[in-house]
Structure 1
Amino acid sequence: MNLIEITLQALDAAERAIPPGQPVYMLNLLRYRAHAHYEDGFDAAPCSGREAFNERYRPAFRRLAAGKPLVRMFSGPVLASLVGSPSERWDEAAINEYGDFATFRSIVDTETYRREVAPHRHAALEDFRLIALAKAV
C-alpha cells in the first residue's frame, strides 16, 4: 500500500462524510525525500524532494486548480513538534481551503492530475498525511 496515494476509496469515504456545499480545509503534513525519486519513464531533471514539490508539484496543481473556487493556500516549515511520536517528523505543513469537497475532488480525481501533477508529489515526498477539516464554529 502506497501511504502517500489519494485513493478512490478515500475520496468516496470523505465525500460521504462531508456535507455537500460545506467549506473544507485540507491539512497536509509533508516530509520530503532528500532526492526526488521519479518512476521509470517520467522525464524530470534530478532535484531534491523539496524542489520537486515546490517548483513542480505546486505550480502544476495551481494550473489545474485555476478557475476553481480554491479560496486560500497557506504553508510553512514545521519548527517544532510539541506532542507526538519522536519518530514522526514533518518538514512542512500546509492548509488549503476549498469552497467544498467536490471542488477538491474535481482537481485530484482527474486523469490530468494523475498523469501530470501527482508524479511530482510522489517523487517529492517520503511521507504524507492529508486530513479534511471543517471550520470550527
Structure 2
Amino acid sequence: MGNIEVDDQALEQMRQADPDEPVVMLNLLKFRERALTGFGVDGMSGQEAFRRYGELNNAANVRYDSEPVWLGPAHRTIIGTEEWDLAILVRYPSRQHFIDKVSDPKYQEISKVRAAALADSSLIELTQLLPAQ
C-alpha cells in the first residue's frame, strides 16, 4: 500500500512556517480498483469513493476556504517512476487554513473515506514564487 496518511513530521514543519502565507496543495492520486469496505463506500470503485469524499467535505463544511484551481487526469509520467490517476491543485488562503482543516475532527473522520478510495497519493505543499498574472 502507498502513502495515504498525513506525515506528522512534515505537518510539524509546516506549522513552523509562516501561518499566513497562502499555499497551493498539489494532490497526486492513485485510486484503488475497489474501495476498502467499512467506510461507507462499500462496493464503490476507488474513483467513486473519492468523489464521495469530496461530497462529504462540502456537506460537512470542512473546506476551510480552499478552492480547487485545477483538476484533471494524469495521463503518463514523463520523468519519474510513479503513475497517477488524477492531479488536483487546491489553493488555501493561508497555511493555517490547511493545518486547521487536517486537525479538524470532522475532517479526520471524512479522511477515512479518502484512505478507503486511494491506493497511493502524494500531497505536496507549494508556495508562489512568481507574481500571479
Q: Deviations over 1:83-131 (max 9, x none)?
A: 112xx2100100100011110111111211122x111111000000000
With over 3 angstroms needed to count, the CA separation of the structure-2 counterparts of 1:43 and 1:94, relative to structure 1, is closer
Give me the whole-angstrom Cα distance separating, in 2, the residues matched to 1:122 and 1:24: 23
Residue in structure 1 matched with residue 18 of structure 2 by the alignment: 19
- Report the TM-score, using the length of structure 2 for normalisation: 0.86
After superposition, residues 1-137 of structure 1 pair within 5 angstroms as: 3-16=3-16, 18-38=17-37, 40=38, 42-54=39-51, 56-63=52-59, 64-66=61-63, 68-85=64-81, 88-115=82-109, 117-137=110-130
| Alpha-carbon separation, structure 2, partners of 1:113 and 1:65 | 6
Structure 1 regions of 5+ residues with no counterpart? none
Q: Report how far residue 57 of structure 1 moved.
A: 0.6
Contiguous gaps of at least 5 residues in structure 2: none
Which stretch has the larger CA shift, 69-78 or 118-127?
Answer: 69-78
CA separation in 2, counterparts of 1:83 and 1:104? 29
Secondary structure of the residue aligned to 1:65 is: coil
Give, in whole Å, the separation in 2 of the partners of 1:123 and 1:72.
22
Q: For the residues of structure 1 that align with 2:127 and 2:105, how far apart are their CA atoms?
A: 27
Moved over 4 A (4+): none
The residue type paired with residue 111 of structure 1 is P
User: What value does the CA root-mean-square deviation take over the aligned residues?
Assistant: 2.0
TM superposition score normalised by structure 1: 0.83
Question: How many equivalent pairs are there?
Answer: 129
Contact 2:76 2:83 in 1 (8 A): no
Residues 26 and 84 (structure 1), Cα distance of their counterparts in 2 relative to 1, 3 Å cut: same
**Matches of 1:62 and 1:135 in 2, distance apart?**
26
For 1:76 and 1:130, the matched residues in 2 are separated by 15
Q: Relative to structure 1, is the Cα distance of residues 112 and 65 closer, same or farther in structure 2, using a 3 angstrom cutoff? A: closer
Whole-angstrom CA distance in 2 between matches of 1:73 and 1:61: 16
